[in-house]
Amino acid sequence: MKRLLRTAVATLLAGTAAVFFLAAPASAGVLDVTCTPPSSNLNQYDPPLTLTPQSVTVSTTALYGPCVSASHPSITSGTRTASVATTSSCADLLGPGSITYTITWNTGQTTTISSTFTRVVAGAVYTVAATGVVTSGLFAGDTVVTNFTGPATDITLCTLGLGSVSSISTLGTLEITSL
């Protein structure tokens, strides 16, 4: 009988706790802009990355769109381009990192974002997931979440010493949310 009573009390307490936590108000912000596929990111490496670190030029073109913004309805797309000389190998395409970049929206307005990211290969899929904050420009102070995926075949072969990576193309989403 004591065991039955303890079970009933434990079930009641667990149910009460679940109702309490489920009923708590959400503190999520307002989605200021969201860009969905075919939003894309293309990184090109000249010369192609190998397993051995070497001097390369990395050219990035990111195309965001279609985009929807309730607070700025004229925003429908954005772009980001960059070119940087660095020393790199295909092993550097995995793991964590940080970046600061600027998106130019179709309206001519800009948003500068500082974020940290992780890059992983799972099976045949390469995923880059990032979180950050808008440091200046349109949506300053907002949080940013991106998630881009693409094929991992070249990266996997390169990290095994069996090939090189001349480019990486990914598709994904960008969300900018006010606090």
Structure tokens at 2: 């004591």
Q: How far is CA 155 from CA 50, 51, 67, 169, in A?
A: 9, 10, 29, 11
pLDDT, residue 179, reads 80
What are the phi and psi torsion angles at 129 (to 5°)?
-120, 135
Whether the full predicted model's pTM is greater than 0.85, yes or no, is no
Which run of H or of E encompasses 123?
none
* Separation of alpha carbons 166 and 63, rounded Å: 19
* pLDDT of 176 above 80: yes
What does residue 66 show for φ and ψ, rounded to 5 degrees?
Answer: -75, 145
Confidence of residue 28 (pLDDT cuts 50, 70, 90): low
Question: What pLDDT score does 148 carry?
Answer: 97
Mean residue pLDDT across the chain: 87
Under 8 Å between Cβ of 175 and 145: yes
pLDDT in tens, 98-117: 999 999 999 999 999 999 99
Question: Left (φ > 0), alpha (ψ -120 to 50) or beta: where does 120 sit?
Answer: beta
What is the average per-residue pLDDT within 68-91?
96
